[in-house]
Amino acid sequence: MAARTPQRHGTPMTVSFAHFRRPLHVMAAAVAALAQAPAFAQSVPTPELETAVQAVQRADQADADQYAPEPLAAARQALAQAQSTRNKKEALDFALRAAADADLARARSQEAVATAEVGQRRAEIADLQRQLGSEGGR
């Protein structure tokens, strides 16, 4: 709605913010960008945070959900805390903890898979030995 200003040299002048459309739009965008700047700066991943994310992904790929669920859950929780905290030192500590827990989960998962494979090979060897023993007795 336009407002009328007092008359100055004969004709009234209509005041409108339409004249300021572009500058106000630019100002609004600048204010919005500045308001989000601290959140954006905090969300930029650090090398430690990237390492933790990759470690959790490697643990997932090693089926740690099945073979080492406790350390994987701890890694995921520490990673979530590292990503959500605004304190850089705490974020670093959580990221390092997440990476260590994820590496532990991956190692335990790989150990469980290797142990299962060894058990399977031993069973195959025992079966072959039985077969050889029964054939030798003929």
88 occurs within a structural domain:
yes
89 occurs within a structural domain:
yes
18 occurs within a structural domain:
no
pLDDT at 136: 63
Q: Residue 12, Cα to own-chain centre: how many angstroms?
A: 61
Question: Which residues make Cβ contacts (< 8 Å) with residue 65, sequence separation at least 6?
Answer: 72
71 occurs within a structural domain:
yes
37 occurs within a structural domain:
no
Cα separation, 79 vs 59, in Å, equals 13
Whether the predicted pLDDT of 107 surpasses 90: yes
33 occurs within a structural domain:
no
Between 131 and 11, the more confident residue is 131
Domain count, the chain: 1
How many other CB atoms are found less than 10 A from the CB of residue 58?
Answer: 16
Residue 82 binned pLDDT confidence (cut-offs 50, 70, 90): very high
pTM summary value: 0.64
Domain with 94, as residue range(s), is 46-136
Whether the predicted pLDDT of 11 surpasses 90: no
Looking up tokens 């090979």 gives 121
Between 109 and 135, the more confident residue is 109
- In this prediction, residues 22-48 reach a mean pLDDT of 57
14 occurs within a structural domain:
no
13 occurs within a structural domain:
no
